[in-house]
């Protein structure tokens, strides 16, 4: 099981902390699984989307924060940004092959969570009853 996410790290070091905050894999995971990262990656799963559609999907986000989140995902190689020289410029975002692979795996986690919310609520109720 490859959970040593620090590039070039030996298995002994990795076993101490499988997810060091400084490692690039950790940063990637945080960008793509942040609240907005999840919304954006999920919105791009069916296909390329315009900036304004992403803004509408990420309810409550400011344009500045949306741009920051998209820039991180582009820099990580998960998302592409294409600008058509129209007036105003038309900006389209799409998942890269890397982004699609990540989003498929993340989607499996999110779908599982979505399907098991009742089990979690039951568990919490039982825990709180016992006190």
Please tell me the chain's helix, strand, coil percentages from 3-state DSSP, rounded to the nearest 5: 60, 10, 30
Out of 21, 47, 88, 131, the only residue in the binding site for a second copy (CB under 8 A) is: 21
Question: Judged by CB, which is closer to a second copy: 87, or 127?
Answer: 127
Closest CA to 43 of 58, 59, 33: 58
Q: Does 45 bind a second copy (CB under 8 A)?
A: yes
CB atoms within 10 A of CB 115: 9
Angle at the Cα of 38 from the Cα atoms of 122 and 110, rounded to 5 degrees? 35
- Which span sits near a second copy by CB under 8 A: 47-55, 62-70, 84-92, 122-130? 122-130
- Which span sits near a second copy by CB under 8 A: 27-35, 47-55, 62-70, 84-92? 27-35
Site for a second copy in 64-93 (CB under 8 A): 74-78
Q: Does 129 bind a second copy (CB under 8 A)?
A: no
Closest CA to 47 of 116, 93, 113: 93
10 touches 71 (CB < 8 A): no
Rounded Cα distance, 22 and 25, in Å:
9
Out of 47, 84, 89, 117, the only residue in the binding site for a second copy (CB under 8 A) is: 117
Out of 11, 22, 24, 84, the only residue in the binding site for a second copy (CB under 8 A) is: 24
Interface with a second copy by CB under 8 A: which residues? Answer: 1-5, 7, 15-19, 21, 23-26, 28-29, 33, 35, 38-39, 42, 45, 57-60, 74-78, 98, 101-102, 105-124, 126-128
């Amino acid at each position: 099981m490859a959970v040593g996410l620090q590039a070039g790290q030996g298995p002994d070091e990795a076993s101490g902390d499988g997810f060091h905050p400084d490692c690039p894999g950790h940063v990637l995971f945080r960008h793509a699984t942040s609240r907005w990262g999840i919304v954006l990656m999920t919105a791009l799963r069916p296909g390329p989307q315009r900036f304004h559609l992403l803004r509408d999907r990420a309810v409550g986000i400011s344009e500045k924060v949306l741009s920051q989140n998209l820039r991180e995902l582009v820099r990580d190689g998960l998302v592409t940004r294409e600008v058509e020289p129209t007036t105003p410029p038309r900006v389209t975002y799409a998942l890269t092959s890397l982004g699609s692979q990540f989003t498929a795996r993340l989607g499996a986690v999110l779908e599982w969570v979505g399907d098991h919310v009742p089990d979690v609520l039951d568990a919490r109720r039982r825990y709180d009853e016992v006190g």
